[in-house]
């Protein structure tokens, strides 16, 4: 089988296609024939080392790449009964056999069947993007039962997690202001949100609303940038609590980190919402998997201007 891999940390130049032995499923494991795999900023941070301590875990070099995948179960190991060969499934890969490859090896309880109405490309945007968004919305963007007019702002609402986050937050009863740029802002206007702001021309402070929660998925804002738009007890939460936030996170009552690790419960919520037609999927563009190195280079260097997720597909 072919897989995309890297032998050392770095930019897209460390990527190579390799021919490796296909995996054999152990007890409770399955092998999946990959049909689609979406690209996440976290894939790139894992390769470059930007995830810090989290980078110390995982398989040895050479490492595979690609968290999200969707495909068809090819082989099942002993003890697997939840899925069978031929089933269409999606999940978050976590072994040497990751999504940017012909085959994924994964525990059977880490995948879910794809509803008939959902394509492989759409399904591959769910395990990280929608599952994280479901977590973000339930942890940070859901009003208490006694809380009327709970105003939230999602910065980076046009991204892989953001497009799902605004939908889950609205479903949870929040009044949602989405902040995105250009085409993404245009797309969000059809989502029936409280307000959509284009970050190129508009600011939260000028909107007049004072927000209970402002969550930043774009990694472009500090607490100081949005302080004026917070309500008295409001809170700015960053999804990327890097060094530049350390000081404010330590000293400002209204600045906090947000953690929302995608897991199977988030994927269950996303699939349930899609099955009820309450979640719009967000495939922005698809490219053949064989072009993955070029596509990743363009993605990382900001040349791919698409609204929604970039997905690599296999026939």
Ligand X SMILES: NC(=O)c1ccc[n+]([C@@H]2O[C@H](COP(=O)([O-])OP(=O)(O)OC[C@H]3O[C@@H](n4cnc5c(N)ncnc54)[C@H](OP(=O)(O)O)[C@@H]3O)[C@@H](O)[C@H]2O)c1
Q: Are 115 and 274 in contact (CB under 8 A)?
A: yes
The three-state secondary structure class of 204 is: coil
DSSP symbol at 206: G
Among 33, 87, 219, 300, interactor with ligand X by CB under 6 A:
219
CB of 48 to ligand X, least distance (A): 11
Q: Alpha helix (H) ranges present in the chain?
A: 41-48, 120-123, 131-140, 162-171, 182-188, 223-226, 246-251, 264-275, 292-300
What character string, x for contact with ligand X (CB under 6 A) and - otherwise, covers 132-151? x-------------------
Per the listing, tokens 């609204």 go with 307
Region near ligand X per CB under 6 A, out of 99-107, 202-210, 215-223, 248-256: 215-223
Non-local (6+) Cβ contacts of 294 within 8 A are none
Rounded-to-integer distance, Cα 101 and Cα 112, Å: 19
For residues 74 and 98, which CB has a smaller minimum distance to ligand X in the complex?
98
Single out the residue of 269, 280, 272, 277 nearest to residue 307, CA to CA. 280
Q: Is 159 in the site for ligand X (CB under 6 A)?
A: yes
DSSP state of 99: S
Q: Are 135 and 262 in contact (CB under 8 A)?
A: yes
Indicate the residue among 64 and 156 with the shorter CB distance to ligand X: 156
Among 73, 123, 169, 217, which residue sits at the site for ligand X (rule: CB under 6 A)? 217
Indicate the residue among 72 and 306 with the shorter CB distance to ligand X. 306
The verdict on 61 binding ligand X (CB under 6 A) reads no
Is the CB of 41 or the CB of 173 nearer to ligand X? 41
Nearest CA-CA partner of 46 in 22, 21, 64, 24: 64
Q: How many CB atoms are closer than 10 A to CB 96?
A: 17
| Interstrand relation of 63-64 and 2-6 (parallel, antiparallel or unpaired) | antiparallel
**Among 168, 199, 236, 287, which residue sits at the site for ligand X (rule: CB under 6 A)?**
199
In this chain, which stretch among 74-82, 89-97, 176-184, 272-280 interacts with ligand X, using CB under 6 A? 176-184
Q: Nearer to ligand X by C-beta: 73 or 128?
A: 128
Q: Does 167 bind ligand X (CB under 6 A)?
A: no
Q: Which of 114, 123, 180, 230 binds ligand X (CB under 6 A)?
A: 180
Q: Examine residue 158 and tell whether it contacts ligand X (CB under 6 A).
A: yes
Asked whether the beta carbons of 140 and 213 are under 8 A apart, the reply is yes
> Three-state DSSP class for 273?
helix
Residue from the set 32, 36, 134, 179 that interacts with ligand X by CB under 6 A = 179
Size of the site for ligand X (CB under 6 A): 27
**Which position's Cβ is nearest ligand X?**
159
Q: Which of 54, 84, 246, 261 binds ligand X (CB under 6 A)?
A: 261
Binding residues vs ligand X (CB under 6 A): 40-42, 45, 132, 155-156, 158-162, 179-181, 184, 199, 217-220, 239-240, 258-261
């Amino acid at each position: 089988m072919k897989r995309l891999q890297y032998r050392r940390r770095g930019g897209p130049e460390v990527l190579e296609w390799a021919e490796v032995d296909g995996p054999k499923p152990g007890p409770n494991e399955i092998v999946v024939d990959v049909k689609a795999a979406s690209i996440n900023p976290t894939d790139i941070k894992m390769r470059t080392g930007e995830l810090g301590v989290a980078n110390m875990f995982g398989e040895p070099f050479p490492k595979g790449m690609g968290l999200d995948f969707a495909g068809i179960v090819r082989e099942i190991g002993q003890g697997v009964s939840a899925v069978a060969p031929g089933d269409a499934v999606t999940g978050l890969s976590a072994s040497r056999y990751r999504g940017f490859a012909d085959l994924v090896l994964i525990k059977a309880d880490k995948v879910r069947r794809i509803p008939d109405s959902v394509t492989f490309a759409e399904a591959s945007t769910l395990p990280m993007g929608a599952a994280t968004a479901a977590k973000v919305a339930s942890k940070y963007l859901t009003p208490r039962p006694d809380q009327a007019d709970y105003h939230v702002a999602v910065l980076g609402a046009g991204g892989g997690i953001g497009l799902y986050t605004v939908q889950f937050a609205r479903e949870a009863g929040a009044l949602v202001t989405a902040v995105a740029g250009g085409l993404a802002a245009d797309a969000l206007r059809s989502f029936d949100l409280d307000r959509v702001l284009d970050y190129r021309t508009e600011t939260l402070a000028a909107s007049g609303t004072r927000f209970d929660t402002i969550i930043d998925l774009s990694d472009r804002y500090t607490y100081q940038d949005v302080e004026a738009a917070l309500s008295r007890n409001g809170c700015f939460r960053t999804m990327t609590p890097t060094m530049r936030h350390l000081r404010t996170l330590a000293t400002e009552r209204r600045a906090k980190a947000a953690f929302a690790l995608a897991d199977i419960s988030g994927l269950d919520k996303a699939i349930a919402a899609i099955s009820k037609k309450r979640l719009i999927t967000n495939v922005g563009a698809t490219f053949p998997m064989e072009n993955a190195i070029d596509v990743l280079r363009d993605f990382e260097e900001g040349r791919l201007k698409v609204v929604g997720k970039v997905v690599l597909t296999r026939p």
